[in-house]
Amino acid sequence: MVSILFFLLLSTNFLATTQQGQFNISLGSSITPTGNSSWLSPSGLYGFGFYQKGNGFSVGIFIAGIPQKTVVWTANRDNPPVQGNVTLLLIGGGRLVLQSADGQEISIVNSHEPVAKASMFDSGNFILYNSDQEIIWQSFRNPTNTILPGQSLLAGEELFSSVSETNQSTGIFRLKMQNDGNLVQYPKDTPDEAAYSYYSSFTDKRGENVSLNLDVDGHLYLVNSTGFVIKDLTPGGYSTEGTIYLMKIDTDGIFRLYSFKLNQNSSVSIVWASSVDKCSSKGLYGLNRYCVKNDRDIYCQCLPGYLVSGEGGCQKNFSTENCESKDGNIKYTIDRVANTTWEDASYSILSLPTEEECERACLEDCSCEAVMFKDGECRKQKLPLRFGRKLESESNLALIKVGVSNFAGAPGEGDEPKRSKKDSQTDLLIIKDSSATSKSFLTLSFQSGDLSA
């Protein structure tokens, strides 16, 4: 039974990858952004060539048979766009290059031996051959953010999301087919560790060479090295009439299976998504802010006392420079952010029974920018705070240190301590730079140390 299934799967793949036309590109062939701008596969479905990026062009593979060119692969995706006066050329020496008007050349793919021929297939695969007709490079083995039917993501390979729908440069999320058999999503610059993951297929320890595969009927699944389907992400069996499927890790970090209807009015729809929780992608909104979900939408929220910064995140709207000095112009209070989770990058963990003690521990420590209080544990944090999201089922309480200007010179105010706006519940009075309270904080600090020891 299982072996029959395997045979069927194999033949589906076989059909998808071999029964198709190829457009052959010989040495000396060239295209330009403003003339013949792509090499189309025989059916006209896929094209290799120039597409618009910003106010210039990039080179890649796209679905050409529909009005909106949908990019499925990009060459040198982090390079800036090129202008119209360039030529994409399969030069005699056996290289595929982008030649500028003044003769400079940029390699489009890095092949280790001379190219004799290139082919654009109806499957969407672009292949470079040597003079022995052997494959020396193929786009299917060098994916960017998309997997097409017949294409696999092999153990050790990963996809990276794009910056935006119109900018195919490397974005902030990745999807990795791990060598332990697990398919996992992480933010871009994090280690392959469970603490950073935000999606898993839960197939770890299922063998070394597990791969992610997509068939023409939208079947998305994991196969082990002996050919057994160890997990179906989608059941497949969707209509193939005038329809193609592709899987893409989107800019929001979720990977989705899309269907493209080609026959009628071309339409695109989502068949399946790795998560319905749009706040699940860790770090979606950058640093020092958190993702909040309501019934229909998600939005981002800066930490209290923080403002949106240019780099997509939030930054302090106060200084901590004078924290050490007693005659500073800034006082510090604590604002509470309930029911949120964050990366745990604590530099010190104290056992403190109450929220108030945890707040004090942070206020009297100039290195402390925030504390996470949960189950009697007080975790001191430095900036930035990452991967924040609101979760109603979460008991963690984030206590954020906020600086408030000290209007010491203003009449009537004197050294009146400032009250944290959001502390109405606990009615705490918190002050840093009055010598009397500083001393009592110091005393408490020793007690805290004793408690945590």
Ligand X SMILES: *[C@@H]1O[C@H](CO)[C@@H](O)[C@H](O)[C@H]1NC(C)=O
Least spacing, CB of residue 315 vs ligand X, in Å: 11
Is residue 307 near ligand X by the rule CB under 6 A? yes
Least spacing, CB of residue 306 vs ligand X, in Å: 9
Q: Which of 111, 130, 209, 322 binds ligand X (CB under 6 A)?
A: 209
Is residue 167 near ligand X by the rule CB under 6 A? yes
Least spacing, CB of residue 25 vs ligand X, in Å: 9
Is residue 18 near ligand X by the rule CB under 6 A? no
Is residue 239 near ligand X by the rule CB under 6 A? no
Is residue 319 near ligand X by the rule CB under 6 A? no
User: Number of C-alpha atoms within 13 angstroms, CB side, residue 344?
Assistant: 12
Is residue 24 near ligand X by the rule CB under 6 A? yes
Is residue 224 near ligand X by the rule CB under 6 A? yes
Is residue 26 near ligand X by the rule CB under 6 A? no
Q: How many residues bind ligand X (CB under 6 A)?
A: 35
Is residue 443 near ligand X by the rule CB under 6 A? no
Is residue 264 near ligand X by the rule CB under 6 A? yes
Is residue 94 near ligand X by the rule CB under 6 A? no
Least spacing, CB of residue 245 vs ligand X, in Å: 20
SS3 per-residue string spanning the chain? CHHHHHHHHHHHHHHHHHCCCEEEEECCCEECCCCCCEEECCCCCEEEEEEEECCEEEEEEEECCCCCCEEEEECCCCCCCECCCEEEEEECCCEEEEEECCCCEEECCCCCCCCCEEEEECCCCEEEECCCCCEEEEHHHCCCCEECCCCEECCCCEEEEECCCCCCCEEEEEEEECCCCCEEEEECCCCCCHHHCCEECCCCCCCCCCEEEECCCCCEEEECCCCCEEEECCCCCCCCCCEEEEEEECCCCCEEEEEEECCCCCEEEEEEECCCCCCCCCCCCCECEEEEECCCCEEEEECCCEEEECCCEEEECCCCHHHCCCCCCEEEEEEEEECEECCCCCCEEEECCCHHHHHHHHHCCCCCCEEEEECCEEEEECCCCCCEEECCCCCCEEEEEEEEECCCCCCCCCCCCCCCCCCCCCCCCCCCCCHHHHHHHHHHHHHHHHHHC
Is residue 136 near ligand X by the rule CB under 6 A? no
Select 32 or 434, whichever has its Cβ closest to ligand X: 32
Is residue 440 near ligand X by the rule CB under 6 A? no
Is residue 169 near ligand X by the rule CB under 6 A? yes
Is residue 104 near ligand X by the rule CB under 6 A? no
For ligand X, the nearest residue by Cβ is 54
Q: Which of 17, 22, 434, 438 binds ligand X (CB under 6 A)?
A: 22
Least spacing, CB of residue 436 vs ligand X, in Å: 26
Q: Which of 7, 11, 14, 36 binds ligand X (CB under 6 A)?
A: 36
Q: Which of 53, 219, 389, 390 binds ligand X (CB under 6 A)?
A: 53
Is residue 70 within 8 Å of residue 260, measured between CB atoms?
yes
388-417: which residues touch ligand X (CB under 6 A)?
A: 393, 395, 397, 405
Q: Which stretch in 191-199, 224-232, 254-262, 430-438 sits in contact with ligand X by CB under 6 A? A: 224-232
Binding site for ligand X (CB under 6 A): 22-24, 35-36, 42, 53-54, 81, 83, 85, 100-102, 163, 167, 169, 207-209, 224-226, 228, 230, 264-265, 307, 317, 338-339, 393, 395, 397, 405
